[in-house]
Structure 1
Amino acid sequence: MTGLLQLLLLVSLTLASEPSCPACSKYDYEEKLLERMVRMEFAFEKVLNENKAVIKTVEQDLTRIKEENTRLHATVDALKDQQEQAELKLVSFMEGVERNQSSTLEKIVSDSNTTLEQTISAFNDIKDQIVTPMVYFHARSPQTSSLSTGEVIVYKTVETNQGNGYSATTGKFTAPARGLYLFFMHTCTPPSKYAYLQIVKESSVLIASEHYDKERYTCSTSPAFVQLDASESVWVQCSSGAAYVQLYEDSHRWTSYGGALIHN
C-alpha cells in the first residue's frame, strides 16, 4: 500500500511539472516527459518487487505460524493424553492400594483373632495346670470300734468334704482330679488295746502303723503322700484284727481320716 501511494505521488508530480515557458519546445517537453515516464516505470517496478518480497515474507511467516500452531496443538493433545493416562494410572494405583490395605487389614485382624484364641487356649491350659482345685476332707468316729482283718474303716461323721471325694457309706476317698495328695490317719486306742491300720491305694499299702499303750488312752498320726489319677480311691483298713484290736474316741480324742489335693 505504501509503494502504491509513492507511485501515485510520483505521477502527480510529473504531470504537474509540465513547462509553462513559451521558449521551451514541444519536443523537449515530450522527451523530458518520456524520460520521466521511464523513471517512473522503473520506480513502479521497484515498488512492486519490494511489495512482492514483503508479501512473500508475510506468507512465509504465516506458514511458520500455522506450522507452529499445528505443532502446539499436537503437543497439547499429547499432554492431554499423558494426563488422562496418568490419572487412570493414579486411580488404578489408589484402588490397588485400597484393596491391599483392606486385604492386609483383614489378614491382620484374622491373625490377631487366631493369636488371641491361641493365647487364651494356652492360658487356660496353664491355668488348669497352675490352679489347684479345692479338694480336701476330714471324717471321724469309726462306725465300729472292734475290727477284723481287712476291714475298711468307715468314718461316719464328716467334718468337711470339699470336692465330695469322701464317701461316709464306703469309707473310701475317690479322687475327683488328678494330682498329688496328702492323706493322714489319726488313731486312738484305749489302755491295753492294739490298732493295726494302714492307708491303702487300690490295694497297694501306702503306710502302715501299729498303736498300743498299756496304761493310757493315747493317739498317733500317720501321713502319706501319693500321686492319684482321677477316680482312683484311697482308704484306711485294718491289717490285723482280733479281740484286742480296738479303736477309741471321745470328746478329746478323735480317731479320724483326712486328706487334701496339694498339687495337680
Structure 2
Amino acid sequence: MIRTEIKVETMVNEVKKTEDNVIRTLSDITRAVSDFTNMFADMKENITDEMLKRSDEIERREGSFKKLFEETRTNLTSDMEAKREELTQLQGKLERPPIAFHAHHVEDLVLDTADEIIIFTKSVINEGTGYDTSTGIFTAPVGGLYQFDVHTCTQI
C-alpha cells in the first residue's frame, strides 16, 4: 500500500513536471507565432512581386505551423488526460476496503467424509463480509491476493 502511494506520488510529480514543460513549450510556440505574425505584417507594407511570392510561402508555412501546433496541443492534452485517468484508477485501487475474517468454534467434531468443509460458526471479525458462517465458504468480494492461516487442535 505504501509503495503504491509512493508510486502514485511519484507519478503525480512527473505529471506536474510534464505539465510545466508543456506550458513552457506552448508559451514559446505562442511567442514564436506572435513574432512570426508581426514580421509577416511588416513585410506586407513593402510589397513587390518577389515579396508576394515569399508571403504566399510564408502563409503556407504559417498554416502548417499552426496545424502542427494544434496537433501537438491536442496530443499533449490527450496524453495528460490519459495520465489523469491512470492516476484516478490507481487511486481507486488504493481505496479498496480491507478484507479479513477470524472465525472459530466447530460444532461438527467428526469429519467422516473426504473433502468435507469445516464450518466455523462463530465469526469474531468479518471485514468485507467474505466469510459465511452458515456454509463455511469464503467468497472474495474484490480481486486480489489473499492469505489464509489455519490453526487446529485434535483430541486424542
TM-score between both structures, scaled by the size of structure 1: 0.32
Q: Structure 1 or 2: larger helix share? A: 2
Q: Structure 1 or 2: larger strand share? A: 1
* Larger Rg computed on CA atoms: 1
Greater RCO structure (CA 8 Å; 6+ sep): 1
